[in-house]
Amino acid sequence: MKKLFGRTDLIIIISVLALSLLLFIPSLFGNNSLVAQIIVDGEVTEEIDLDKIEKSYTLSPKDGTVIAVEKGRIRFSDACCKDELCVASGWLSAKGQTAACLPERVVIAVKGTDKTDMMTY
């Protein structure tokens, strides 16, 4: 019979948490200017500078998904699928945040304008 918790388990917990921290590092660097990329079928179709939005609006890159854009933030506001996980992701307002609509293959990725950080890390 295996035990419930031992030293190996503690090492596993620490290494998983360390890995999550490591994956998080690239999102911390770069300047504060926010650019949202809208990626349809794996290709960037639109780049929106979120800091320069004056009036909020919505767009629909593909039938069945509606994206709402406001100053400094962006979100999926409506989806055609049943679970609407992309809508549940809520507003994206920080660098490194993503929301994905898998059924329609539409992704919103928020990036900083500084492109070198991913290369350095």
Residues that bind other proteins (CB under 8 A): 1-6, 8-9, 12-13, 16-17, 19-21, 23-24, 26-27, 39, 41-43, 81-83, 85-86, 88-90, 96-100, 102-103, 105-107, 109
- For the bound state, the minimum distance from the C-beta of residue 28 to other proteins, rounded and expressed in Å, comes to 11
CB 53 within 8 A of CB 71: yes
The whole-angstrom separation of Cα 84 and Cα 65 is 10
- For the bound state, the minimum distance from the C-beta of residue 33 to other proteins, rounded and expressed in Å, comes to 17
- For the bound state, the minimum distance from the C-beta of residue 120 to other proteins, rounded and expressed in Å, comes to 14
**Beta-sheet strand order (sheet of 34-40):** 43-49, 34-40, 106-112, 98-101
Minimum CB distance to other proteins smaller for 44 or for 57: 44
What is the token pair recorded at 121? 């890390």
The whole-angstrom separation of Cα 30 and Cα 106 is 25
Minimum CB distance to other proteins smaller for 13 or for 57: 13
